[in-house]
């Protein structure tokens, strides 16, 4: 049997392929089967991104600005991402949110994460809540002219703020050279 | 563990144990993770990719759960080694092809594997024998948490874990099951099942994952939605759907053996006959025949062949395994010969 794809080599691989939900017998040589394997890799579809872009045609000035914009994290433009069908870095999700969010909504039917979170994200959040509480407290103490107590609260806030800033950050991406130190265990 | 040591054994997940192992070969859960502050794999400069491999290696070395693991960086292994890993479902086709610095590490039992600098910086996977997604999820959660102590994952409170492809964003979780569905294929019900599944956001693929076709009546099912639901929810929803497919297959098997037992038995015994006497065989033909033999075992027709041995046979007749076993590079036609003699050897004690 001759390969269905190149029509030259002997077909050694016989597969049942799914074409639009229907099963079709396909006979391939090893070389073509390997190529097919790679070619079939589906990344997110270009059309979907284009559909995302189309939503901005009404504001054409804004759109052309967006198209030229480069992500500060990876220096890629939305057109670069389209070519590869992949996002450049974590920051792209913020920078190109207008393009990516509609796409994400379309793929998943949602744009809000409900799953697990890295534990340090929660830790940081808790500290921030604590800081907000203390700041409100500080304000009250100043208004009541309880300056000695206020000073203690202020020190506490200072301490917590320092703690937050030295904690590993996930939200803000930094340049690679800086981030390596941040990635090491503290 | 060295690669030579691996040739003589198979992963724990191939043991043919676990729930519904008559239909489900294996269950897998994988998580996609990226490191904050690093450009994603596809665009990453070489030096950054190397640095990242080092960081992940350090995190893996510090993990308690991954104590018994082997770490292979791309410099330590050949293309054939990678093909060999792929045939064992330890790495993907994408990692085999990768040109940037990359690595893989897996536990000695081959249940846990971590690909580094694949499409995402990390791809963690847990494989289980049979229909066992819950255990796979439990394990991967433990490992993910351990690694997270030493790695700063890219995460957004609204979008969750950020991935190179928006199709994985959120939980980064893909659950999949490898199903053997000969009766649904024989009774021509498979198209209906596959059509129904495609409407429920379930992807269907062949034996070796993305981009491969169904062969030997093996189908790999996986969830497509990764965002907007919790991990447990995703796995539960997917599990329910797979359960229905399993039940359909089991019903079809009963129907076949009630109505067409003689014809079915004839097909099964002939398949075993060919496998026991073949001198040249392609992997495609071998898969189809082995599929029928497997059905024969599951239906209790073939009694003296254990499932572990049979599952193993599907793996060891693949091209890279043949070349590892015979310790030489083999062109296609010689492979077909070696494959035939290996199958005859492995099945020689099974009575016809
Ligand atoms: Zn060909
Ligand atoms: Zn970017």
B115: which residues sit within 8 A by CB, 6+ positions away? B91, B92, B95, B102, B103, B104, B122, B123, B125
Residues B242 and B259 in one domain: no
Task: State pLDDT tens for residues B100-149.
Answer: 999 999 999 999 999 999 999 999 999 999 999 999 999 999 999 999 99
Residues A27 and A61 in one domain: no
**A113 located within any domain:** no
Residues B176 and B254 in one domain: no
Interface with B, mutate which of A86, A94, A98, A120 (most B CBs under 10 A) = A86
> What is the helix (H) or strand (E) element at residue B224, kind and residue range?
none
A176: which residues sit within 8 A by CB, 6+ positions away? B37, B38, B39, B48, B51
Sequence length of chain A is: 186
Tell me the chain B residues in contact with residue A115 when contact means C-beta distances shorter than 8 Å. Answer: 160-161, 170-171, 173, 229-231
Q: Which ligand is nearest to the CA of A87?
A: 2
For the domain that residue B60 is a member of, what is the CATH number?
A: 3.30.590.10
Interface with B, mutate which of A106, A116, A124 (most B CBs under 10 A) = A116
Task: State pLDDT tens for residues A122-136.
Answer: 777 777 778 888 888
**B352 located within any domain:** no
B51-60 average pLDDT score: 96
Residues A23 and A75 in one domain: no
Determine the pLDDT at residue A102.
87
Residues B219 and B86 in one domain: yes
Q: Residue A28's domain spans which residues?
A: 1-43
- For the ranges A139-148, A171-180, B103-112, the lowest mean pLDDT is seen at A171-180
Task: State pLDDT tens for residues B243-287.
Answer: 999 999 999 999 999 998 999 999 999 999 999 999 999 988 999
Residues A20 and A63 in one domain: no
Is A74's CB within 8 Å of B43's CB? yes
Residues B141 and B259 in one domain: no
Residues B102 and B242 in one domain: yes
Strand, helix or coil for residue A172:
coil
C-alpha distances in Å from residue A89, one per residue of A86, A171, B19, B254, B296: 9, 12, 40, 52, 50
Q: Does the CA dihedral A55-A56-A59-A60 come out positive or negative?
A: negative
Q: Residue B94's domain spans which residues?
A: 3-249
Residues B222 and B311 in one domain: no
Task: State pLDDT tens for residues B64-97.
Answer: 999 999 999 999 999 999 999 999 999 999 999 9
Closest-approach residue (CA) in chain B for A108: B225
Residues B203 and B318 in one domain: no
Determine the pLDDT at residue B116.
98
Q: Does position B10 have pLDDT exceeding 50, yes or no?
A: yes
Between positions 44 and 63 of B, the ones with CB within 8 A of A are 48, 51, 55, 62
Out of B230, B249, B268, pick the residue that ends a domain.
Answer: B249
A48: pLDDT confidence band, cut at 50, 70 and 90?
low
CA distance B296 to B84: 28
Is B37's CB within 8 Å of A12's CB? no
**B71 located within any domain:** yes
**A114 located within any domain:** no
Percent of chain A past pLDDT 90, that is, above it, reads 16
**B130 located within any domain:** yes
Residues A55 and A78 in one domain: yes
B326-335 average pLDDT score: 91
Report the separation in Å between the CA atom of A173 and the middle of ligand 2, taken as the mean of its atom positions: 9
A169: pLDDT confidence band, cut at 50, 70 and 90?
very low
Residues A39 and A60 in one domain: no
Q: What is the model's pTM?
A: 0.79
Determine the pLDDT at residue A175.
36
Residues A97 and A133 in one domain: no
**B113 located within any domain:** yes
- The number of domains in chain B is 2
- Cβ–Cβ under 8 Å, residues A71 and A100: no
Residues B125 and B216 in one domain: yes
Task: State pLDDT tens for residues B150-163.
Answer: 999 999 999 999 99
B78: which residues sit within 8 A by CB, 6+ positions away? none
Compute, in degrees rounded to 10, the torsion defined by CA atoms B137, B142, B144, B145: 140
**A79 located within any domain:** yes
**B118 located within any domain:** yes
- The number of domains in chain A is 3
Residues B317 and B194 in one domain: no
- The DSSP letter of residue B212 is P
Residues A103 and A123 in one domain: no
């Amino acid at each position: 049997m001759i390969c269905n794809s190149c029509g030259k080599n002997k077909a050694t691989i016989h597969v049942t392929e799914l074409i639009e939900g229907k099963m079709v017998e396909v006979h391939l040589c090893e070389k073509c089967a390997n190529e097919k394997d790679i070619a079939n890799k589906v990344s997110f579809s270009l059309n979907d991104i284009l559909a995302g872009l189309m939503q901005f045609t009404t504001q054409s000035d804004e759109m052309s600005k967006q198209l030229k914009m480069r992500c500060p994290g990876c220096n890629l433009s939305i057109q670069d991402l389209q070519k590869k069908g992949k996002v450049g870095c974590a920051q792209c999700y913020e920078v190109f949110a207008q393009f990516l969010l509609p796409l994400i909504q379309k793929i998943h039917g949602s744009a809000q994460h409900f799953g697990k979170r890295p534990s340090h994200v929660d830790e940081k959040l808790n500290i921030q809540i604590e800081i907000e509480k203390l700041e409100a407290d500080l304000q009250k103490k100043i208004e009541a002219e309880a300056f000695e107590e206020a000073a203690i609260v202020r020190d506490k806030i200072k301490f917590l703020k320092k703690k937050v800033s030295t904690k590993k950050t996930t939200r803000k991406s930094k340049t690679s050279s800086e981030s390596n130190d941040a990635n090491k265990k503290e | 563990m060295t690669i030579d040591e691996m040739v003589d054994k198979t992963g724990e997940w191939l043991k043919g144990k676990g729930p519904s192992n008559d239909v489900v070969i294996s269950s897998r859960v994988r998580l996609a993770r990226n490191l904050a502050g690093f450009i994603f794999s596809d665009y990453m400069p070489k030096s950054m990719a190397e640095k990242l491999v080092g960081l992940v290696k350090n995190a893996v070395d510090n993990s308690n759960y991954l104590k018994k693991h082997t770490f292979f960086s791309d410099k330590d292994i050949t293309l054939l080694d990678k093909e060999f890993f792929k045939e064992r479902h330890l790495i993907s086709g994408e990692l085999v092809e990768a040109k940037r610095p990359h690595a893989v590490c897996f536990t000695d039992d081959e249940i846990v594997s971590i690909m580094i600098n694949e499409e995402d910086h990390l791809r963690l996977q847990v494989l289980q024998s049979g229909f066992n997604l819950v255990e796979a999820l439990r394990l991967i959660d433990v490992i993910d948490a351990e690694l997270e102590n030493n790695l700063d994952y890219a995460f957004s409170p609204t979008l969750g874990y950020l991935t190179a492809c928006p199709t994985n964003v959120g939980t980064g979780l893909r659950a999949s099951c490898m199903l053997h569905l000969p009766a649904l294929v024989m009774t021509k019900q498979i198209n209906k099942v596959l059509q129904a599944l495609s409407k429920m956001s379930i992807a269907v693929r062949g034996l070796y994952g993305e981009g491969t076709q169904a062969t030997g009546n093996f189908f790999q099912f996986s969830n497509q939605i990764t965002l907007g639901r919790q991990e447990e929810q995703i796995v539960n929803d997917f599990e329910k759907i797979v359960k229905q497919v399993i039940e359909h297959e089991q019903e079809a098997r009963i129907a076949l053996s009630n109505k067409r037992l003689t014809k079915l038995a004839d097909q099964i015994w002939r398949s075993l006959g060919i496998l026991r006497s073949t001198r040249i065989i392609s992997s495609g033909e071998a898969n189809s025949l082995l599929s029928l033999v497997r059905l024969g075992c599951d239906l209790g027709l073939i009694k003296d062949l254990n499932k572990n041995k049979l599952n193993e046979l599907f793996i060891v007749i693949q091209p890279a395994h043949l070349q590892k076993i015979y310790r030489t590079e083999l062109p296609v036609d010689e492979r077909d010969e070696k494959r035939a003699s290996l199958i005859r050897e492995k099945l020689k004690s099974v009575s016809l």
